[in-house]
Structure 1
Amino acid sequence: MKTARERLAESEVLRAAVQRRIDGGLLERMGLPDIRVPAPGEGADADVADRLESIDPGGSALEAIVQLVGRPPLLVQNDRVVFGDDEIDSLDDFPPGTDARIRATEKFIPSVGRVEFTNFTMAWGGTGWVIAADGADRIVVTNRHVASLVARRTADGHGVFMRGPSQIRFGASLDFNEEFGAIASQATPFDVVDIPYLADTTAPDVALLRITGQNLPSPLPLADTDAAFDDVVALVGYPAYDDRNDKDAMARYFRQLYNVKRYAPGRITQALGPRVTLQHDCTSLGGASGSPLIRLSDGRVVGLHFSGLYGKFNSAVGASTLRQLLAGARPVADIAAVAGATEAAGDGQHGPDQLADRAGYDPAFLGGGDLSAPWPGLPADVEGDLARPSDESASQPFELRYTHFGVKFSRSRKQPRMTAVNIDGRHPVAIKRGSDRWFHDGRIPRDIQLGKNDYAHPDIDRGHMVRRQDPNWDDTLPAGGPGVSEIAQRANDDTFHYTNAAVQHGDLNSGARQWLGLEDYILNSAKTHGFTACVFTGPVLRDDDPEIAAGVVAPREFFKLVVMESAVEGTLHATAYVLSQGEMIRDLLEERGRTEAVEGFELGAYRTFQVAIADLAAVTGYDFSRYVPFDPLAALATSEAADAGEPVFVPLDAISQIVL
């Protein structure tokens, strides 16, 4: 990188710019004595250069002055750079033909947009640009510090939108217009529907956003080679007023016109290296964060600008890093966070041979035919994440079969997605709780199962999805049979597999009293028949579930669907429940346009809610249509509420409040 003294000696434009700054009182404001910049041919005054470099220990202060003269932030209108006589003159510090090269790269301007926010205190936060196509969608890249204004990173590196104090969810969109002179009707916003990657603060300042819609812009081409020192480049973005810069300089350069698309040519002042960042001197202010740095010689992107927000260095993430992230590579810290630790002593493992005789869940347990109780259907993306046991049955796909129950297991979350158990209240067998040794299931890979160390944190518990007592029955014995049964003991022991455990925060136990007594209450109700039931249980998995320990994500809600034969023989009876702080209720209100109801919504302590099965289906995306017609709670909805799509739910402060 050239020193300030060398740059002064080489550039008449720069010398004149520095002298104008001194004449305007720059050194006086800095507390430095008045000095003169040498005239052309006199050579650079070492004292001048050294004093200017000393302003910033990184040697970037003189480059800030360069940004103020000879580095014009050119306006963009109708996807073209505005060139007047003054703008042409301002390019004198660049090689001849730079204006033609700028024109050659104008085709990329429509692919650069402003990152705008919804339900947030700021209308917009930075710049983003299309980096790749993904089917009909587009992937946009911006800075982490832009996206993290409205989103937060999850354990697997994805991002999810946060909520404000009033519980309204934030959102984002990309508007690829927002040019000088544009009117509101010319806006071209595309909603951000997903955040595939949001960097940790220890990783390069990058976020990847997914947008969808019609007539999406084309991706900008990434450079195959890194930028070299003194390459002519350009920054395309939306500089905003930034009081961390000299106000007079901003007024002179931007003429009080901010927040619109600009094209700022400059040079690479430091090439990317093993221990140095990619730096440039294009004019930028805070809103340019996330702008593409385009090399004019070949029209390819060599970097992602990120330092404008901080006002210290014009730095950029290199194209090589962007290519790696786009290909799915992640920083080592991300990989280490989800790597399993050395397993503590005490856990066991059952191999396929030891579990070979397990029949699993029986959908015909209540009688078959009109009384059949099949597994609820799962969306394709959820099903694609399920583990496939080595002994998978064609008639029971994805099911890890145990005694009187089955599990469908999420590979990515390392926890059950759903469990299904057959309960026979006529032939229960009491099994005394033993040492509670937990086992891994050898029919699926060990590395997708949690273990003892993963539950070492004092705030989390292993939560049985199939209750320990539920499958403990033996219909080969007389009703109320003896206290010992090999079948019932095996069922009891089978519940102590990690595949049947979900991570539960300790706070959840405070509201679990009604939850734990649901099945017993329903089994003994006069409105049901036969004392047999099929129960489906699982976590409500969300992208923004909190990471409690490294790679261990705790669901915030759990659902339960209890299916029995009705007191009217030959028909089903089905009820659904959620153990929650209220997130599901809030989401249902929000998704159905009940903004006023969400405003001020408070998440309280964990409690049990009875919910309409149709509403449970809407939140989870699962197919519960088999059971919706048999839900007594649905009859509570008035016609007006039904027409408005209001959720139907009953907070259960006492088990007797269940609607049967």
Structure 2
Amino acid sequence: MSDEPRDEEARTGAVRRRLADAPELREAIEQAVKAGRLPAEMVPPRALDAIDRGGELESVLHVDALEAIVRRVGRPPLLVRNDAVELEPLPDFPAGTDVLIKGVERSVRSVGRVEFVNHQMAWGGTGWVIHEDGDSARIVATNRHVAKVVAQRGLDGSGVFLRAPFTGLPYGAELDFKEEVGSNPGDAKPIRVVAITYLADDAAPDVALLRLEGDDLPSALPLAEAEAQADQLVALIGYPAYDSRNDPGDQAKYFRDLYEVKRFAPGFVMQALGGGRALTHDCTSLGGNSGSPLISLDDGRVVGLHYAGQYGIANSAVGVDTLRRLVAGERPVLAAGAAVSQAQRAADATEAASDGVHAPDFFGGRAGYDPAFLGDDLAAPWPGAPAALEPGLAHPSDEDPGRPFELRYTHFGVKYHLPRRQPLITAVNIDGEHPVRIKREGDRWFRDQRIPLEAQLGKDDYADPEIDRGHMVRREDPNWDPDATGPTDVTERARLANDDTFHYTNSALQHSRMNQGKQLWQGLENYILESARTEGFKACVFTGPIFRNDDPLLAAGLPVPQEFWKLVIMPAASDGGGQRLHATAYLLSQGELIRDLLEKRSRVEGVEGFVLGAYRTFQIAIADLAEATGMDLAHYVPFDPLGGSRIGTEAIESGEPLFVPLEMLDQIVT
């Protein structure tokens, strides 16, 4: 590329004209620089000076293209046809480069185009198989900024697909490995992305990992054992698209108006990674090459993941060591919502002092939840926790090996999720024959020192006026004592049960917009308790939030659950004259869980104008609740009357999720 001043001026003028036609690009570049997402070395000093002065970008000569032509001559992006590279003269490369290219062209089979589902953009970048997970699953590497077109980073670092703003349909992604020159529409065999297993934070390297499942999947590209070295002969494989951010003449010269098909672009490593320097190369790229593998022509091993470029300067790639660590499951250490800093720990200690703290010995003799409470042959065991959430459950200092994870209180127990800083599930025994009524007065909340204090919320976390502090085990439910002389005999046991509910381990964040829907939810809770007291029977109640990866965050980084579930177990008369279990499940929701079930089963209701309404209470089939939450509720499915009802029989036959919107409590299917 010529360095003559007039060439520089011509390019600068072209850039300014393109920016004038694309103000959104100009704004995005300025914001990226100000936020530190665009490295300073990619921006001319005069542009940085302009931004620092609060002015506009004077020139983005070096940053106007996030994918870029670096060398105006000598770096042809070779076409791929039928999985073979079509060679052209390569006068700027060493003799024998054509032989090396042919030696590694098998790599092209493992590179695909990242296409979008239900999005206005048909496709957005390149992806390639980086890991084989057995015979029927593959992990694909691409860029974060490609995946973020249709997804957002979840609380656990994975990706969660977004929804279209008007239709509410979920976005999705596919990989098509056969988009080549001369290919027919019938040749396309896109493979659906079943999960985004990793979506980098903006402060981490620009990487996303996608999971594919199916048959006859491409092989993984091998990763190099060491980082690329300067002047190493490499190639970029991907899908360059016409890019107005690059010079039209240069694009026409290289691409001959043929875009959006697979290309094999040879070049050289310009700068090795290390010492504060980025891995750069001069392989020709355009928009659409995002996520392309950078492979060594010596052995066909991947040395980097392409992610950005500077027109006429260099293209940049994530190094292979980072890729190897991510595939192995290592994740960058970031200030996520669940992380707790030393300053936060100190604040927690102060807050704990004002709230109150109970040491482990305070809980001596607490029996916790009793699975045998309902009587012989009426066992009501804890539901099994979802496999993805169980590793986050707390191990109390007084944990009973036979009852793992349980924080034992008086007449109830809690299984607490440390990363979410909230209970995953609570279980309470209700004795309607021996109730004790305790007046609520002078509430004081406590933290439980049997698990780390920094993993528990405090009153400051509930300072937001839109957030409520919600008892999972209701205050009145465990307030009973067989030794009490009557409902007004407040025994020590009943008092302990009452006070034990005022621990933050028994509290979940609840958004205030649930309040309207909670009227019937609370009515349901009252109905359960009063029925038990009136009829004098026993009941076991499990309650918990539904943790989603995309739950909204408070300013403090705390995720707020949007839905809650409840499972009520009680004895009932059997046909043989004895007793059996009776189990019903309920959901406090706008309908998200139900929509998920509809979509999973490909029911048309899930894609034809399903709208989330106000918060309501639903009775839901226990089997459907289990499927949607990942909870193991198999023990209770046979005792669910909803499945045996007329509406239940019809739903089962048609494969529909089984639920009843409750407007009044007498609509409960018993």
- Alignment partners' CA distance in 1, 2:540 and 2:592: 26
Instruction: State the shift of 1:452 in Å.
Output: 4.2
Task: Say if 2:636 is the partner of 1:637.
Answer: no
Q: Which has the larger radius of gyration?
A: 1
Q: 1:335 to 1:223 in 2, by over 3 A?
A: farther
Q: Name the counterpart of 2:77.
A: 73
1:511 is matched with which residue: 492, 503, 517? 517
- Alignment partners' CA distance in 2, 1:377 and 1:76: 51
Percent identical among aligned pairs is 60
Paired residues of 2:112 and 2:175 also in contact (CA < 8 A): yes
Which has the larger displacement, 405-414 or 157-166?
A: 405-414
Deviations 1:598-631 (Å, cap 9, x if unpaired)? 4211112222112222221221232333333333
Q: Name the counterpart of 2:487.
A: 480
**RMSD between superposed Cα atoms in Å:** 3.4
Paired residues of 2:394 and 2:451 also in contact (CA < 8 A): yes
- Alignment partners' CA distance in 2, 1:55 and 1:394: 66
Q: 1:271 to 1:463 in 2, by over 3 A?
A: same
Q: 1:357 to 1:527 in 2, by over 3 A?
A: closer
Q: Name the counterpart of 2:376.
A: 368
Paired residues of 2:386 and 2:630 also in contact (CA < 8 A): yes
Which has the larger displacement, 605-614 or 265-274?
A: 265-274
Deviations 1:231-283 (Å, cap 9, x if unpaired)? 33211001122233334443342233222211001223344455543332221
Question: Helix, strand or coil for the counterpart of 2:537?
Answer: strand
- Alignment partners' CA distance in 1, 2:214 and 2:183: 21
Q: Name the counterpart of 2:572.
A: 566
2:407 is matched with which residue: 400, 409, 424? 400
Q: 1:372 to 1:309 in 2, by over 3 A?
A: farther
Question: Helix, strand or coil for the counterpart of 1:491?
Answer: helix
Q: Name the counterpart of 2:356.
A: 348
- Alignment partners' CA distance in 1, 2:171 and 2:503: 39
TM-score (normalised: structure 1): 0.84
Question: Helix, strand or coil for the counterpart of 1:616?
Answer: helix
Deviations 1:528-571 (Å, cap 9, x if unpaired)? 95332111101112222222244421111100111222366623
Deviations 1:111-141 (Å, cap 9, x if unpaired)? 2221122222223211112223445543221
Which has the larger displacement, 337-346 or 268-277?
A: 268-277
Deviations 1:345-365 (Å, cap 9, x if unpaired)? 324333332223111111222
Alignment of 1:192-341 (within 5 A): 192-307=193-308, 314-334=315-335, 338-340=339-341, 341=344
Q: Name the counterpart of 2:467.
A: 460
Deviations 1:317-341 (Å, cap 9, x if unpaired)? 2333333434444445435862241
Q: Name the counterpart of 2:560.
A: 554
Paired residues of 2:64 and 2:311 also in contact (CA < 8 A): no
Q: 1:468 to 1:212 in 2, by over 3 A?
A: same
Which has the larger displacement, 574-583 or 186-195?
A: 186-195
Aligned residues: 615
Letter in 1 for 2:111: V
Q: Name the counterpart of 1:147.
A: 147
Q: Name the counterpart of 1:96.
A: 95
Deviations 1:200-228 (Å, cap 9, x if unpaired)? 22332211222233343333333444434
Letter in 1 for 2:372: A
Instruction: State the shift of 1:588 in Å.
Output: 1.9
Unaligned runs of 5+ in 2: 18-57
Deviations 1:134-179 (Å, cap 9, x if unpaired)? 4554322111111011110123322111122322222222222322
Which has the larger displacement, 606-615 or 543-552?
A: 543-552
Q: 1:588 to 1:463 in 2, by over 3 A?
A: same
1:647 is matched with which residue: 631, 640, 657? 657
Paired residues of 1:528 and 1:565 also in contact (CA < 8 A): no
Q: Name the counterpart of 1:51.
A: none
Paired residues of 2:532 and 2:538 also in contact (CA < 8 A): no
Which has the larger displacement, 556-565 or 125-134?
A: 125-134
- Alignment partners' CA distance in 1, 2:75 and 2:308: 17
Instruction: State the shift of 1:472 in Å.
Output: 1.1
Task: Say if 2:425 is the partner of 1:418.
Answer: yes
Unaligned runs of 5+ in 1: 9-17, 33-53
Task: Say if 2:541 is the partner of 1:535.
Answer: yes
Paired residues of 2:406 and 2:414 also in contact (CA < 8 A): yes
Paired residues of 1:524 and 1:531 also in contact (CA < 8 A): no
Task: Say if 2:438 is the partner of 1:431.
Answer: yes
Q: 1:310 to 1:466 in 2, by over 3 A?
A: farther
Q: Name the counterpart of 2:86.
A: 82
Paired residues of 2:598 and 2:605 also in contact (CA < 8 A): no
- Alignment partners' CA distance in 2, 1:588 and 1:466: 27
Q: Name the counterpart of 2:669.
A: 659
- Alignment partners' CA distance in 1, 2:360 and 2:242: 65
Question: Helix, strand or coil for the counterpart of 1:573?
Answer: strand
Q: 1:75 to 1:507 in 2, by over 3 A?
A: same
Deviations 1:373-422 (Å, cap 9, x if unpaired)? 22223444444443333333344333221110112222332322211101
